[in-house]
Amino acid sequence: MTVFTLSQAEREATLLPQLAELTAHHRANSPGYDRILSSLGIARDAEFGSIAELPWLPVRMFKTHDLKSVPDDEVFKTLTSSGTTGSGASRIYLDKEAAGAQTRQLGATLQTVLGGERLPMLMVDTVGIIKNRRSFSARGAGVLGMANFGRKHVYVLDEHDKPDVEAVKGFLERHGDQPFLIFGFTFMVWLYLYEVARDNGLDLSNGILIHSGGWKKLIDRSVDNDEFRRRFREDTGLHQIYNYYGMIEQIGTVFLEGPSGGSLYCPDFADVVIRDPETWAEQPVGKPGVIEVVSTLPRSYPGHVLLTEDLGVYNGIDDGDWPGKHFSVLGRLPKAEARGCSDTFSGQAA
Amino acid sequence: MSLTQRFPVGPEVPVTELVSRLQSEPDGGRLKVGDPRIVEFLTKFARKLLAPAVARRYPELASLGFFLRKGEIQKALSGLSDTGDALRFPRGLVFHVPPANVDTIFVYSWALSALAGNHNVVRVSSRSAGAAEEVLAALNAALSEVDSETARVITQTQRMITYDRSDEISGALSLAADLRVIWGGDGSVKALRQYPLAPHARDLTFPDRSSFAVVSVAGWQAASEAERRGAAEGFYNDSYWFDQAACSSPRAIFWVGDADAAASAGVEFRRLLGEVLAAKQHVTEPAMAVQKRVSAYGAAVDGLVTSMTFDGNAVATLELTEPAALPREWLGAGTFASASVRTLSDLVPIVVRKDQTVSQFGFGREELVEFATELAGRGVDRIVPFGSALSFSAVWDGYDLLAEFSRLVSVPV
């Protein structure tokens, strides 16, 4: 069972009609989205020749405006993310169908590397992160979303955020000789699991690690993806490592690292476009640009074609572990700051 | 809690000590309005700012240098002469809180207050950047070039300081001040207003403002190619110098006159502006380009615009559904709302108190005076030609600053 099967040509042929239909659907059901496209001079019956020609929305629109394509009474779940500090929260509206689809497709994507069984699961976080079910941090939502894919969960950190070595040792004694699942955010996995496993000589060779969340904190420690993989393999035996890239604004769609590492792949219902920030034209392989993520999942809100604020680069097309485009995330765009008369740091005025 | 003395450079001092020093009588007699010792110091300081090396690095400091030349100072003071039964005197101790992100405002504010004969304490942001550092260096250098008596009186009466957020220091300076001057918008005003003033003292506040531009379609048609190019260049300076975030930078352009002619004038203006941007090798950072899209698309969602045009990343033009939809918040460097109206009078009902500067092209003085008269104080403090929006003047936000920084003693006989 895999959802990484479509070559780029097949992907264009399969997804373009669906995405064009989604564009029309959102225009018909989200007045705000329709106003954006109308103001850009895009006709309601416009034809699109390729995925890269579809109009994109900046992902931050969901922080500044409520955009949805379902009536209020059909909203089943509202997701909010804090995102980067001080930028407000994204609000993503899901109806029953969209909520179901995102869980299903995330499951299908992860099954590609986990198989069909629910595996014993090591969570590189504290159980406190999901204690308060009413208000989740983005981290809590991620942990909770992933927890469904495992069983017999053990948390690596105690309630004081200290690594609980005994708990990890106990988990490995019970499950370490069979495949098991490890989940966590990249920097926490590095800080709390790698160091604990190395210092205590733990054997993680049957583990399958799924991790996400950016390299910024690790680059400061001069650890990049290659170094991360190499040291885990050499010092703990862990060799099945899958980084993924995703965001709450396209919940359910994750771009997954291939088995050989170093490149992210698009599931069959998604695609990626790297754009030149000067001209917004698509970049060729090897030239960095701004990442646009494309997915057929967002039906209850117009989030099917989103320009992120991340920089990335195509590593290749149809020449990697799996078919389609594969790419790396290089970092974030810096925040746009203006010098003005008004002091945006009014808190400092005192 | 100590504060750092940046000008004149000195050791850290507690705020109580600083206040008592600034409140004592200076040697060589009290400062007067237009005191020659201050004038001498300011002109020495201005010369430093006009030095080619400085002016090349920070063009905004050259403008400041011009503003403080002897001739300009005399002109400003001449409007203040004692009249009839009234004699003019300094207010006393003035506490200035400038914005953190426009590096030169604190100098204008301070210089005019010093000219009025006040003792001053200016809080310079600890986040101050290049131009502000250059200013402090020039001030300190000028101090060693005036005679010792002048240097001593400046040192006894003038201070620029830096301190981290502190209720104690802000509170003590507020209580000691005869006048408190708060720049930096609504947030700063609100933050500083927590600290009581002495009963006789008051605030001079510069809250958040916004500005727009007007072009006479007839004036545009009558202008030569060179004048039109000059208009685009002036508009570029007004808008792009501070990423369009200065309160005086226009955020909307209203074309005044025939609608069809306005549309073709607008197209030509955008072409000329594009040429200026290319000549200045203007670069729009990707993050700024994205910011502009977020703002522009947001305005579309809000139903404020009928169409958006992006000429590269540098210029975004948003056609407004109606003039009253003009945005007053910052949308990103080079984002201009646009609308056409028949006459300037059509703009009168949409003007609010927050509106500060109208930069104009192609109007005659009479039309502008009529417009100002019709506004009747609703809003708008200055109407200036394209290219002058950012020029500071001694009359700002509707205040005659030298008059605000001084008080009258009347002696009717």
Tell me which residue has tokens 């205590």.
A200
- In this structure, the answer to whether residues A176 and A228 fall within a common structural domain is yes
- The candidate with the shortest Cα–Cα distance to B113, out of B82, B138, B91, is B91
The DSSP string of B38-96 is HHHHHHHHHHHHTSHHHHHH-HHHHHHHHHTSHHHHHHHHHTT--BTTEEEEE-SEEEE
| The two three-digit tokens of residue A329, written as one number | 């995330």
Are residues A286 and A225 located together in one domain of the fold?
no
pTM of the model: 0.90
Considering only CA atoms, which of A101, A186, A114 is closest in space to residue A149? Answer: A114
Claim to verify: residue A239 and residue A304 sit in the same structural domain:
no
In angstroms, the CA A131 to CA B6 distance is 51
Instruction: Write down the pLDDT at residue A132.
Output: 59
Within 8 A of B293 by CB-CB distance, chain A residues are: 58, 307
Q: Is B248 on the interface with A (CB under 8 A)?
A: yes
Q: What is the dotted CATH code of the domain comprising B210-385?
A: 3.40.309.10
- Residue A87, pLDDT > 70, answer no
Q: Which two tokens stand for residue B188?
A: 């700063």
Q: Three-state SS for B346?
A: helix
Q: What are the 10-residue block averages of pLDDT along chain B, 413 residues in total?
A: 91 95 94 95 94 86 89 87 81 92 81 97 83 92 95 97 93 98 90 97 95 98 98 96 90 97 97 97 93 96 97 97 95 96 98 97 98 97 96 91 94 83
Do A258 and A140 lie in one domain? The reply is no
3-class DSSP state for residue B286?
helix
Residue ranges matching CATH 3.40.605.10 in chain B: 2-208+397-410
Q: How far is CA B189 from CA B97, B135, B167, B183, B381, in A?
A: 9, 25, 15, 7, 19
CATH number assigned to the domain comprising residue A293: 2.30.38
At A274, the pLDDT band (50, 70, 90 cuts) reads very high
Q: Is the pLDDT of residue A83 over 70?
A: no
Closest CA to A214 of A228, A233, A194, A193: A228
In a domain, A340, yes or no: no
Q: Which residue of A has its CA nearest to B245?
A: A340
For the cut 60, the answer to whether the pLDDT of residue A342 exceeds it is no
Q: Please tell me the predicted confidence (pLDDT) of residue A346.
A: 31
Beta strands in A43-195 (DSSP E): 57-58, 77-81, 90-94, 119-126, 150-157, 180-185
Has residue A69 been placed in a domain? no
Size of interface A-B (CB pairs under 8 A): 145
Report the length, in residues, of chain B: 413
Q: Which residues of A fall within a CB distance of 8 Å from B206?
A: 341
* Contact flag B187-A342 (C-beta cutoff 8 Å): yes
> CB contact, 8 Å: B291 with chain A?
yes
The shortest CB-CB distance from B313 to any of A65, A278, A349 is to A278
Integer-rounded Cα radius of gyration of chain B:
23
- Residue A347, pLDDT score: 33
- Shared domain for A146 and A203, answered yes or no, is yes
Q: Which of A178, A212, A245 is the last residue of a domain?
A: A245
The per-residue pLDDT for A137 is 63
Q: Which domain holds residue A200?
A: 104-245
According to the model, what pLDDT value does residue A159 have? 83
- Total number of domains constituting chain A: 2
For chain A, how many residues are written? Answer: 350
Radius of gyration of chain A (CA): 21
What is the structure's pLDDT at A340?
58
The CATH number assigned to the domain holding A156 equals: 3.40.50
CATH class of B2-208+397-410: alpha beta
Nearest to B209 by CA among B399, B388, B380: B380
B184 and A58 within 8 Å at the Cβ level: the answer is no
Partner-chain contact A349 B285, CB within 8 Å = no
